[in-house]
Amino acid sequence: MNDNPEQQHVPQDPVIAEPLPPPASQSHFAKYESADFTPDDNAPFESEFASLASSQSWVPGSQEYSRHRTIALLESSEEEAIEIRRNGYQALCREVGIDPPPFKIGECKNRLKNTLVNIVDLIDAQRTGKRVEVWKDFASFRKYTLLPEHRISKEDVKGTELASLLQDLRSDRPGRERKRIGADKRGWGLLSSGNRPAKSWE
């Protein structure tokens, strides 16, 4: 038996960990998952919210019930919009050879930005079902894309997934001119595909 008080074990109070916040990618209903509520992504909204409200003791018709219902509706709508955008970016990634594509939209954009693909050619490939060429040499890509028939206006693809493929062609090396503050935007690389409007990609 150890009689040295300095070496005797002194029990400590248990440390109670604070619950971690749900990840940003988690659905609104999944944030409330518990023994009393199991979220079902395939359930209709009203049915799912009724189950959630019952587990949280939110009384139908009360201000609390109405407030949480509004929040759930808005967040569910936003989640659906994000999912649609994610699917669009992931589909574009696959078309240019990034497969499997990243899960996050931001990561998809970064991968696409570092992929040299002529937009006009990409749209043609979409029409014909052929594989679009992915360029390795920026100088060759720049020379090809600066030809009038291989260009598309930056404004035409603004707000679409295709905008992630735009390259700055004011320099003979990728990225060098992007650091210039207030630089003229007229030299932005505009990738090819005939006269088909870019809005078909929205």
Give residue-wise pLDDT tens across range 87-122.
Answer: 999 999 999 999 999 999 999 999 999 999 999 999
Cα separation, 121 vs 123, whole angstroms:
5
65-71-73 Cα angle (round to 5): 100
What's the per-residue H, E or C state across 45-81?
HHHHHHHHHHHHCCCCCCHHHHHHHHHHHHHHHHHHH
Q: Token pair 């936003």 is at which residue?
A: 78
Task: Tell me: pLDDT of 197 over 80.
Answer: no
pLDDT band at 190 (very low <50, low <70, confident <90, very high): very low
State the average pLDDT for the chain.
Answer: 79
Measured distance CA(174)–CA(198) in Å, rounded = 24
pLDDT tens by residue, 15-29: 333 333 344 445 789
3-state SS, residue 110 = helix
Instruction: Determine the pLDDT at residue 171.
Output: 73
H helices of 114-168, where? Answer: 119-128, 138-145, 154-157
Tokens read off for 100: 């499997």
Position 188 confidence tier, pLDDT thresholds 50, 70, 90: very low
Helix (H, G, I), strand (E, B) or coil at 168: strand
Q: Is the Cβ–Cβ distance between 195 and 151 less than 8 Å?
A: no
Confidence label for 41 from pLDDT (cuts 50, 70 and 90): confident
The proportion of the chain whose per-residue pLDDT surpasses 70, expressed as a percent, equals 72
**Hey, what amino acid is at 100?**
P
Phi, psi of 158, rounded to the nearest 5 degrees:
-60, 130
Residue 65 confidence (pLDDT): 95
Q: Residue 124: is it exposed, middle or buried by C-beta count within 10 angstroms (0-12/13-18/19+)?
A: middle
The CA-atom distances, in angstroms, between 201 and each of 36, 57, 120 are 44, 45, 12
Q: C-alpha 105: how far from its chain's center?
A: 2
Q: Which residue has the higher pLDDT, 154 or 96?
A: 96
For the segment 158-170, what is each residue's pLDDT rounded down to a tens digit?
989 999 999 998 8
Residue 47 CB-density burial (10 A; 0-12 exposed, 13-18 middle, 19+ buried): exposed
Q: Which residue has the tokens 């693909």?
A: 117
When pLDDT is cut at 50, 70 and 90, the band that residue 175 belongs to is low
pLDDT recorded at residue 26: 57
Rounded average pLDDT over 53-72: 94
pLDDT of 200 above 80: no
Confidence of residue 7 (pLDDT cuts 50, 70, 90): low
The answer on pLDDT for 9 being more than 90 is: no
